[in-house]
Amino acid sequence: MKKTLSLFTGLLLAGSSLLNAKDIELLNVSYDPTRELYVEYNRAFAKHWKEKTGDDVKVKQSHGGSGKQARSVIDGLQADVVTLALANDVSALHNKAKLIPEDWQKRLPQNSAPYTSTIVFLVRGGNPKNIKDWDDLVRPGVSVITPNPKTSGGAQWNYLAAWEFARQKYGSDAKAKEFVAKLYKNVPVLDSGARGSTTTFVQRGVGDVFISWENEAFLAQREFGKGKFEIVIPSISILAEPTVSVVDKVVDKKGTREVATAYLEYLYSDEGQDIAGKIFYRPTNPKFVKKYETQFPKLNLFTIDEKFGGWTKAAKDHFADGGTFDQIYVK
Amino acid sequence: MKSFSQKTKLTLLLASAAALSPLAAAEENTAELREQIQQLDQKLRILERNLELKEEAAQKASAESSKKLPNFSIGSKGISLASPDKAYSAKIGALVQADGRFYLDDGADNRNTFILRRVRTPFSGTVAKIFNFNITPEFAQADATSTNNNTQLVDAWIDGRFSKAFGLKVGKFASPVALETPNNRHFIEATYTNQLAPNRDIGVEAFGSVADNLLAYRLGVFNGAPNNTWSGTRNGTDGDFTVGGRLTLNPFEKNDNALAGLSLSVGGSYGNEAGATSAIRSPGQQNIVGSLTADGHHLRVAPALEWYTGPFSLVAELAYDQQEIAGGNTVGNLGWRVSGGWVLTGENSSKGGVSPAKPFSWENGTWGAFELVARVSGLDIDNDAFTTHGGSLNPATNADGAFSYGAGLNWYLNDNLQVRFDVEKTNFSGGSGSQLLAENELYAFTRVQLKF
């Protein structure tokens, strides 16, 4: 009997080591305009991982307004990684559900922001409303498209960029609040995410100007041709730093920590940075910053940390319940 | 050329201005109208988009709420209930086989009968996505010849499917040695190859497939059920385990040609056995070779070929069964069969059966699918099993070989209901002292089967 059992155990062990190649599935919960980026990146990473380990990895994508996506993960969506529009949405995973450690942003280079972007204006061909800067967005009769900052990370960048412009030009937070209130009076449709706003402006033909992620504006222009839409660079804008993190509680439960971490680290590789540049995100690796420097306009950019004391404070002051957005936006 | 006075010029200018002013006003009105139309167009677009967003939000909310509800379904695959994420599910099915058995030879009397061959209500499901279970009670007779109506357990197993390449199964389930269980594909009853392999066994088995299902395997340790039986509740009198398994090669599965449905496999087992061996039955389910006393090594090898292409199917199988018996002899018996089918109505044939393109409907005048089947099979009993060579079988009352050939018609009314009709003749060699064996065997079996 002992012989029989040891024969079986031996066969089992030999068999299982031979048959060890795995099929892995990851879920990347991201924000709205990263669809094209991660379609291409996932393909590249799967090839890289197969070559490195022999394992097949399939990455499922989920997209929506960044804040909404963070809430879904907090509510139980089994995301292995999050790649959200702003650090505050990722921090919510720690603050509200302890899904990641507090110092999550220190785990990857550049504060876990492998690529950056900014906010520009997309206007209709010929710029019929003569939009040149933030001031033009509060003129009567100018219809502005931007998503809801309560649900969209991109919209929060838009909001803060407009705020900072007005604060610098008119000298106070009170004036900035007044300015932003006027701007939102010109917003006829409030989509929940940036991709929805793109649909509103580009496909449904609503509005004169779309406050857009830079990559989203370039993609719209590439898809529909330069004659149909024009990009207007405002005098001041914000350096948007979308951030990424492994969701520790999920990867430890699913046993996918190694591959999920590698997935995010590969965003900093030459291939990951090149793909980001091709899809109109600004790479952070100097080699690819140089490669794509002519693609992106030069802008006067500020950061959240410099002007708003970091995301935690900015979110509390402006987007939390009772914050400035709730005060100025009356439906 | 005539020249105009200043007064005349002024008069002409005033007259022209008077004539043009309505035109200028009209242009202004047109521009205003255009502006108004543009504004109205924008308002309409805004209203439409806001409505669209509201509808999207309502649809999303409805989809979200339905995601939280368990899925209940009832259909051709049974009654099932699944959690919204499908990680948990439970299903109740049913299998009823009502047979009519008619013997057309002059063998033993009183053999014609109606029987409930199988009455099962499999309860199966999934736990935490990767673990599955099956509990199947049998309410019909213990086997084809039994009059015992006690309920028994056919299947009771749990498996974990950790990857395509590796899973583990524990409990009582179909043995990997034989190609198919008695619930076989072409004929109502299995033939000699299944007589030389266990039916169900209790144990633990690793299973999986590699290289995109090019090679599938099953390998396990079992109590060691005797041939053509279900393992009991505990290990047999020998206390030894049996290692068994099956390797299946699907060399052309990914091809889009006639060979795609071809598979080659070999099953086998090895262990020690003691105690009574099972009697061997004819395709007509009559005992033709009696029991021996096993005492020592037991080896089984069963290679097979299966080929399903379009409406055609072909299965060939060989089973070699070698057992040391009391007295020191080693008995090696051989069984084989080749069976085939042709779906007359043109549907594809598969391991799972035939799904009719036009299910039976009296109202629509459709009849389902019909399949013609045929089988030849044989059995050779080792001389060492008989008293003339040191064994314990009486050559006068036990067959030393058999050859069977027959044909049948399977009628698939729909995915759940079948009617089958088989006629098969068996010629026995040896055992001339037995009326049954002397007369050979000719039967006509029918079956009505409900399965979901």
Query: Is residue A215 in a domain?
Result: yes
Is pLDDT at B6 greater than 80 in this prediction?
Answer: no
Share of chain B above pLDDT 70, in %: 89
* Nearest Cβ partner for B49 among A5, A21, A204: A204
* Nearest Cβ partner for A19 among B48, B166, B243: B166
CB-CB under 8 Å, A205 with B221: no
Chain centroid to Cα B384, Å, comes to 39
How many angstroms separate the CA of residue A1 from the nearest CA in chain B?
A: 6
CB-CB under 8 Å, B219 with A15: yes
Q: For residue B182, name the pLDDT band (cuts at 50, 70, 90).
A: very low
Residue A152 belongs to a domain with what CATH number? Answer: 3.40.190.10
Tell whether A7 is within 8 A of chain B (Cβ): yes
Tell whether A33 is within 8 A of chain B (Cβ): no
Q: In whole angstroms, give the CA distance from residue A322 to residue A320.
A: 6
CB B123 within 8 A of CB B90: yes
Test the A interface: residue of B38, B45, B201 with most A CBs within 10 Å: B45
Tell whether A189 is within 8 A of chain B (Cβ): yes
Find chain B residues with C-beta within 8 A of A143's C-beta: 42, 46
Confidence at residue B220, expressed as pLDDT on a 0 to 100 scale: 96
CATH 2.40.160.10 fits B99-111+170-451, yes or no: yes
pLDDT digits (tens, 9 = 90+) for B183-227: 567 999 999 999 999 989 999 999 999 988 899 999 999 998 889
Is pLDDT at B147 greater than 70 in this prediction?
Answer: no
Which residue matches tokens 């088995």? B205
Test the B interface: residue of A12, A24, A142, A146 with most B CBs within 10 Å: A12
Confidence at residue B348, expressed as pLDDT on a 0 to 100 scale: 92
Amino acid at B6: Q
Q: In whole angstroms, give the CA distance from residue B224 to residue B298.
A: 10
Is pLDDT at A330 greater than 80 in this prediction?
Answer: no
Test the A interface: residue of B51, B163, B235 with most A CBs within 10 Å: B163
Confidence at residue B27, expressed as pLDDT on a 0 to 100 scale: 77
Confidence at residue A1, expressed as pLDDT on a 0 to 100 scale: 47
Residue of A242, A209, A252, A263 whose CA lies nearest to A113: A242
How many angstroms separate the CA of residue A95 from the nearest CA in chain B?
A: 25
Q: What chain B residue is nearest to A145 in terms of C-alpha separation?
A: B46
CB-CB under 8 Å, B217 with A200: no
How many angstroms separate the CA of residue A4 from the nearest CA in chain B?
A: 7
Q: For residue B56, name the pLDDT band (cuts at 50, 70, 90).
A: confident
CB-CB under 8 Å, A204 with B242: no
Domain, as residue range, for A279: 21-113+241-291
Confidence at residue A207, expressed as pLDDT on a 0 to 100 scale: 94
SS3 B32: helix
Where is pLDDT greater, at B373 or B71? Answer: B373
Confidence at residue B42, expressed as pLDDT on a 0 to 100 scale: 86
Q: For residue B2, name the pLDDT band (cuts at 50, 70, 90).
A: very low
Q: Is the dihedral of CA B435, B437, B439, B442 positive or negative?
A: positive
How many angstroms separate the CA of residue A143 from the nearest CA in chain B?
A: 9
Find chain B residues with C-beta within 8 A of A21's C-beta: 165, 210
Q: Is the dihedral of CA A259, A265, A266, A267 positive or negative?
A: positive
- The residues, any chain, with a CB within 8 Å of residue A258's CB and separated by 6 or more, are none
Q: For residue A18, name the pLDDT band (cuts at 50, 70, 90).
A: very low
Looking at the fold, whether A188 and A68 belong to one and the same domain comes out as no
Most confidently modeled range among B22-36, B74-88, B379-393, B430-444: B379-393
Looking at the fold, whether A104 and A158 belong to one and the same domain comes out as no
Give the residue-averaged pLDDT of B98-117: 88
Tell whether A14 is within 8 A of chain B (Cβ): no
Give the residue-averaged pLDDT of B104-128: 89
Confidence at residue B8, expressed as pLDDT on a 0 to 100 scale: 63
Looking at the fold, whether A88 and A199 belong to one and the same domain comes out as no
Tell whether A32 is within 8 A of chain B (Cβ): no
Confidence at residue B11, expressed as pLDDT on a 0 to 100 scale: 62
Test the A interface: residue of B39, B204, B221 with most A CBs within 10 Å: B221
Is pLDDT at B43 greater than 50 in this prediction?
Answer: yes
Q: In whole angstroms, give the CA distance from residue B67 to residue B70.
A: 8
Least confident of A32-41, B18-27, B315-324, B443-452: B18-27
CB B230 within 8 A of CB B152: yes
Report how many Cβ contacts below 8 Å link chain A to chain B.
61
- The residues, any chain, with a CB within 8 Å of residue B31's CB and separated by 6 or more, are none
Query: Is residue A2 in a domain?
Result: no
Looking at the fold, whether A245 and A161 belong to one and the same domain comes out as no
Where is pLDDT greater, at B67 or B420? Answer: B420
Find chain B residues with C-beta within 8 A of A189's C-beta: 46, 49-50, 53
pLDDT digits (tens, 9 = 90+) for A42-71: 999 999 999 999 889 999 999 988 888 999
Q: What chain A residue is nearest to B39 in terms of C-alpha separation?
A: A141
How many angstroms separate the CA of residue B351 from the nearest CA in chain A?
A: 26
Looking at the fold, whether A312 and A178 belong to one and the same domain comes out as yes
Tell whether A8 is within 8 A of chain B (Cβ): yes
Q: For residue B152, give Cα distances in angstroms to B46, B141, B148, B228.
A: 69, 9, 10, 16
Tokens (6 digits) for B355: 């799904």
CB-CB under 8 Å, B48 with A200: no
Confidence at residue B145, expressed as pLDDT on a 0 to 100 scale: 54
Give the residue-averaged pLDDT of A259-279: 96
Tell whether A20 is within 8 A of chain B (Cβ): yes
Give the residue-averaged pLDDT of B334-342: 96
* Nearest Cβ partner for A1 among B49, B50, B240: B240
Q: Is the dihedral of CA B229, B137, B180, B422 positive or negative?
A: positive
CB-CB under 8 Å, A5 with B241: yes
Find chain B residues with C-beta within 8 A of A255's C-beta: none
Query: Is residue A98 in a domain?
Result: yes
Q: In whole angstroms, give the CA distance from residue B339 to residue B306.
A: 10
Is pLDDT at A184 greater than 90 in this prediction?
Answer: yes
Confidence at residue A259, expressed as pLDDT on a 0 to 100 scale: 96
Confidence at residue A223, expressed as pLDDT on a 0 to 100 scale: 83
Tell whether A300 is within 8 A of chain B (Cβ): no
Is pLDDT at B283 greater than 50 in this prediction?
Answer: yes
Give the residue-averaged pLDDT of A290-305: 90
Give the residue-averaged pLDDT of A309-319: 91
Looking at the fold, whether A68 and A126 belong to one and the same domain comes out as no
Q: For residue A33, give Cα distances in angstroms to A59, A221, B197.
A: 17, 14, 61
Query: Is residue A9 in a domain?
Result: no
Query: Is residue A15 in a domain?
Result: no
CB-CB under 8 Å, A204 with B165: no
Looking at the fold, whether A58 and A192 belong to one and the same domain comes out as no
- The residues, any chain, with a CB within 8 Å of residue B419's CB and separated by 6 or more, are B410, B411, B413, B446, B447, B448, B449
Tokens (6 digits) for B142: 């213990």
Most confidently modeled range among A298-302, B275-279, B289-293, B373-377: B373-377
Count of domains observed in chain A:
2
Confidence at residue B148, expressed as pLDDT on a 0 to 100 scale: 59
CB-CB under 8 Å, A19 with B210: yes
Give the residue-averaged pLDDT of B418-426: 96
pLDDT digits (tens, 9 = 90+) for A152-182: 888 999 999 999 999 999 999 999 999 999 9
How many angstroms separate the CA of residue B313 from the nearest CA in chain A?
A: 31
Looking at the fold, whether A322 and A203 belong to one and the same domain comes out as yes
Q: HEC states along chain B?
A: CCCCCHHHHHHHHHHHHHHHHHHHHHHHHHHHHHHHHHHHHHHHHHHHHHHHHHHHHHHHHHHHHHHCCCEEEEECCEEEEECCCCCCEEEECCEEEEEEEEECCCCCCCCCEEEEEEEECCEEEEECCCEEEEEEEECCCCCCCCCCCCCEEEEEEEEEECCCCCEEEEEEEECCCCCCCCCCCCCCCCCHHHHCCCCEEEEEEEEEEECCCCEEEEEEEECCCCCCCECCCCCCCCCCCEEEEEEEECCCCCCCCHHHHEEEEEEEEEEEEEEECCCEECCCCCEEECCCEEEEEEEEEEEEEEEEECCEEEEEEEEEEEEEECCCCEEEEEEEEEEEEEECCCCCEECCEECCCCCCECCCCECCEEEEEEEEEEEECCHHHEHHHCCCECCCCCCCEEEEEEEEEEEECCCCEEEEEEEEEEEEECCCCCHHHHCCEEEEEEEEEEEC
Tell whether A158 is within 8 A of chain B (Cβ): no
Q: What chain B residue is nearest to A143 in terms of C-alpha separation?
A: B42
Helix axes A173-185, A153-170, angle to 10 degrees: 130
Is pLDDT at A260 greater than 90 in this prediction?
Answer: yes
Is pLDDT at A10 greater than 60 in this prediction?
Answer: no
Find chain A residues with C-beta within 8 A of B46's C-beta: 143, 188-189, 206
Q: In whole angstroms, give the CA distance from residue A236 to residue B130.
A: 54
Tokens (6 digits) for B104: 């057309």
Q: Is the dihedral of CA B18, B23, B28, B29 positive or negative?
A: positive
Confidence at residue B427, expressed as pLDDT on a 0 to 100 scale: 94
Tokens (6 digits) for A82: 């999050």
Q: For residue B96, name the pLDDT band (cuts at 50, 70, 90).
A: very high
Least confident of B221-225, B266-270, B429-433: B429-433
Tell whether A196 is within 8 A of chain B (Cβ): yes
CB-CB under 8 Å, A22 with B163: yes
Find chain B residues with C-beta within 8 A of A202's C-beta: none
The full DSSP string for A94-156 is HHHH--S-TTGGGSSHHHH-SEEEEEEEEEETT-TT---SGGGGGSTT--EE---TTT-HHHH
Is pLDDT at B155 greater than 50 in this prediction?
Answer: yes
How many angstroms separate the CA of residue B330 from the nearest CA in chain A?
A: 21
Least confident of A168-177, B108-117, B368-377, B399-408: B108-117
How many angstroms separate the CA of residue B83 from the nearest CA in chain A?
A: 15
Where is pLDDT greater, at B15 or A292? Answer: A292
Looking at the fold, whether A273 and A307 belong to one and the same domain comes out as no
Looking at the fold, whether A226 and A261 belong to one and the same domain comes out as no
CB-CB under 8 Å, A15 with B163: no
Confidence at residue B66, expressed as pLDDT on a 0 to 100 scale: 74
* Terminal Cα-to-Cα distance of chain A (whole angstroms): 79
pLDDT digits (tens, 9 = 90+) for B232-256: 655 666 678 999 999 999 999 888 8
Confidence at residue A21, expressed as pLDDT on a 0 to 100 scale: 61
CB A255 within 8 A of CB B163: no
Give the residue-averaged pLDDT of B291-316: 94
Confidence at residue B236, expressed as pLDDT on a 0 to 100 scale: 62
Confidence at residue A312, expressed as pLDDT on a 0 to 100 scale: 87
CB-CB under 8 Å, A206 with B241: no
How many angstroms separate the CA of residue B224 from the nearest CA in chain A?
A: 12
Name the average pLDDT for chain A: 90
Q: What chain B residue is nearest to A199 in terms of C-alpha separation?
A: B49
Share of chain B above pLDDT 90, in %: 61
Find chain A residues with C-beta within 8 A of B208's C-beta: 19
Share of chain A above pLDDT 90, in %: 73
Confidence at residue B72, expressed as pLDDT on a 0 to 100 scale: 87
Name the average pLDDT for chain B: 88
Looking at the fold, whether A225 and A314 belong to one and the same domain comes out as yes
Confidence at residue B165, expressed as pLDDT on a 0 to 100 scale: 92
Confidence at residue B232, expressed as pLDDT on a 0 to 100 scale: 61
Looking at the fold, whether A316 and A195 belong to one and the same domain comes out as yes
CB-CB under 8 Å, B217 with A15: yes
Instruction: Report domain extents, chain B.
Output: 99-111+170-451
What backbone torsions phi and psi does residue A99 show, to the nearest 5 degrees?
-80, -20
CB-CB under 8 Å, A4 with B271: yes
